[in-house]
Amino acid sequence: MKKKLTTVAFQGTKEQEEKLLAVIEKHAGQRGAMMPILQEAQEIYGYLPIEVQTIIAEKTGVSMEEIFGIISFYAQFKLNPDGQYAIAVCLGTACYVKGSGDIIEAISQKLNVPVGSTSPDGKYSIEATRCIGACGLAPVLTVNGEVYGKITVDDVDTILAKYQ
């Protein structure tokens, strides 16, 4: 799935920026440093918004295009913050063949939030994930880490009702 940007306002703090600058300094001049810089930046902010990418580009001399290319290629990086309710639907093989593709689409439509993004109010985020290691419960989704297994599209309304 393609990563999408949403319009959730960036709310970084001066303290976070200072931590980011320290990370960049720590890796200055190291070959292959962009991956650890991005990983540590995501630990600081929880995701990698354009504002953070801009700081990294300016301080490292790496182009925004290259940084975005790395972020959009690796599934570990997030362009959007988790919502208050972070919904993740497994699209691994076992889950997918049992209908998780239809489940994630139903959630997306019900909440009017595109897969891979966060609602403008920050309440919901929806991510497609790969295997979470609960294949015996396929199809599986999680909400803030709480696992729901052996679900169907008909279960979506009941599950979402707990988070409204």
- Residue 10: what pLDDT? 82
Q: Provide mean pLDDT across the span 140-147.
A: 95
| CB 108 within 8 Å of CB 114 | yes
| CB 114 within 8 Å of CB 80 | no
Q: Which CATH superfamily, name and number, covers 85-161?
A: Glutaredoxin (3.40.30.10)
Domain boundaries, the chain: 14-73, 85-161
pLDDT band at 130 (very low <50, low <70, confident <90, very high): confident
**6 pLDDT more than 70:** no
Q: Provide mean pLDDT across the span 105-133.
A: 93
Specify which residues 118 forms β-bridges with: 125
| CB 5 within 8 Å of CB 78 | no
- Residue 2: what pLDDT? 53
Instruction: Determine the Cα angle at 1 with ends 43 and 41, to 5°.
Output: 15
Which tens digit of pLDDT belongs to each residue from 7-52?
567 888 999 999 999 999 999 989 999 999 999 999 999 999 999 9
Alpha-carbon distance of 112 to 31, in angstroms, equals: 42
Closest C-alpha to 141, from 109, 111, 102: 102
pLDDT band at 86 (very low <50, low <70, confident <90, very high): very high
